[in-house]
Structure 1
Amino acid sequence: MRSLTILGATGSVGTSTLDLVSRHRDRFTVEAVTAHSDAAGLARVAREHGARFAAIANPQAYHALKAALAGSGIEAAAGPDAVVAAAERSADMVLAAISGSAGVAPVLAAIRRGITVALANKESLVAAGDLVMSEAARHGVRILPVDSEHNAVFQALAGSRIEDVETVWLTASGGPFRTWNAEAIAAATPQDALKHPNYAMGAKVTIDSASLMNKGLELIEAHHLFAMPADRLKVLVHPQQAVHGMVGYRDGSVVAQLGAADMRVPIAHCLGFPERIDGPSRRLDLAALGSLTFEEPDLVRFPALRLAIDAMRAGGRAPCVLNAANEVAVEAFLARRIGFGDIARTVAETLDALGTGPSAATLEDLNFIDHVARERATSTMHRAVSAAS
């Protein structure tokens, strides 16, 4: 039996994980679950899977969670510290699926307890990659990649030496704006941007997929996960989303991982690793697909990807600033305070102002850089809105 703590249990990745757990109750138990503010949903999954501890990040939802768990014997807690406490509980694996930089502290907490981390929170490595990976090395902790692209690369590497790798490709669907011109993209509404062609995801990651910022964040994540030099990491737009990642080797071989566009495939790989477990996802039918196509990303129509690539190459605090500014701008876009094209402009101006300097050496450093970048991004947007009006 493998015990699991699931951070972000009510989100899309958490729900897919619990679906797999319910199909393999002879292999997995659930120690703890967390959510941001969905007290009813968190209580439901905690009861269904026999969790011992449930933490809600939003303190205002504590009483609702406590009431929903009354009589169950499941301990309830609330606030960011409670989410960290969940990550520190005794478990064999922590599946980290919290969206945004809020996931960094619990990921570090799990690592420092020596717990294997199945990572679906890319911001942990984007904002604090040097810190997280150094702590993982110091505590001898394995980080298993849950994101489909990184899991694909992990499988394609299959123990090969990094020195033998020439190129790593992460694939992108191209999002809903793959064929749109630059003017149409800039004028896109939140409803337009939330129409991802293949995956059902949370709002923030779906917007990032539309701008291709998500793919840029994934490049930075891959840079840290695989200790891969930035110049060996590339993106290919692949609308069919059958190939999730590829590794090209020095002898000319290219190894690719293929599968259905279903997050239960990479999650199952992590849950069972180093073994394989049965998964319910649709099996890939290559004959039915007929053809697989690939194209270079357009960095002019999708400037967010270019900004992320530049931040990856710059290193230091640039990726943390990039991530913080993007989170602020995406939130503003979803609230219709700025336009879609303003997301990349906000990130660019914030990077120009704050992107130079060393990376965070501690969680306190990270929080400071993140806070300053968010304030700068917010003021940048306010100035732009004032000037436009």
Structure 2
Amino acid sequence: MSVSKSSQWIERLAALTLLAALGLAWPPAHADSEEMLDTLQMHGFLSQALVITDDNNFFGPSSEDEGSFEFTEIGANVSLRPHEDILIAAQALSRRAGGDGGDARPVLDYGIVDYQVLSNQQRTFGIQVGRFKNPFGFYNQTRDVAFTRPSILLPQSIYFDRTRSLALSADGASFYAEERFDNGIMRLKGGVGTPTDRDLGKQLFQPSLDYDVKGDTSSIAQIIYEHNNGRFNAALSAADVNLDINHGSSDGELNFQPWILSLQYDTGSWALTGEYAVRSLDLTGMGAARKSDTTGESWYIQYSKRFFNDWQWLLRYDRMVSDKDDRSGKKYAEQGRGPAHSRFAEDITVGLQWSVSPRVLLAAEYHQIDGTGWLPLQDNQDVSETERHWNMLLFQFSLRF
């Protein structure tokens, strides 16, 4: 069969992930092994994209020749219930998104032991220990699978792909609570832990500078209200993220505090979604040349329409600035720190998705972009050579099983 080799690879990866997850918790001695194995679930997914740009590079040498095929995601997730109140779940992911390809090695995307303390018709409360997925915005906790994203790329002003590992998960403990009303559901999520920091030095700073970035104790929280079976959704997310930075003999600290307001109206056939974020960033201890205390701003508005049951098109306007006091980046450029257009980005996106079957998804989208505020640094080693105005075309094939 054409997918047999991929299936075998996914199954082996999922089995290894399960063994790692099982090592986190022992099932009760009286648990019936057959009943426990009945709860075992294993799933996999694979996505391959082609990225083409006229200027600048995104996920590989996209501005050269036929474009870049260096956006690949292969993952496996597994879950098991050793007890009715305990869930063990984990996901391993091999993801290449440009760069030198080193990030393609399989890593633990998330892995948790979930204990449901309380569950009845009115409310639920539980805690999780391990590598949990950060709750912020509408899409962060489901961004790892193409089928759960409204487009190939999420709005980059909110969901930066160049710092995906930092945003996606943290190692520590989290909680969740749910209160059900007659016409809606209120959910509260939060956690304390150390952010995952894989390759952050190359993502936050120019790779040639060789910065070493490590996560420190951080916290995150989110409150969500869903009304009338999800017809109207509102969320408020906040985080306090701390990173330790080392560069030669210099040490520093970076504190990042985003607040995100999310609103959505979804009729089932069409949806209008918007999110607004204010982001304060404070960098200290790296010398006067690197010291920074700025407040950035991001927002987008997105309209999506479903038609013919298995088709969906999308139109989005996405805007971000790195410093509200220097929206054009002029002051930044005058200080000799880089081009002005590296401090903002305005993106108009048109996308189309076709669900060929429940397991196969084809997607395409076009981006017209002014600015390089979220352009991956690892694919653009010399920011002075980047262009302010550029266009990007993406095609993606996704499979899940």
TM-score w.r.t. length of structure 1? 0.29
| Rg comparison, structure with higher value | 2
TM-score w.r.t. length of structure 2? 0.29
**As a proportion of its length, which structure holds more helix?**
1
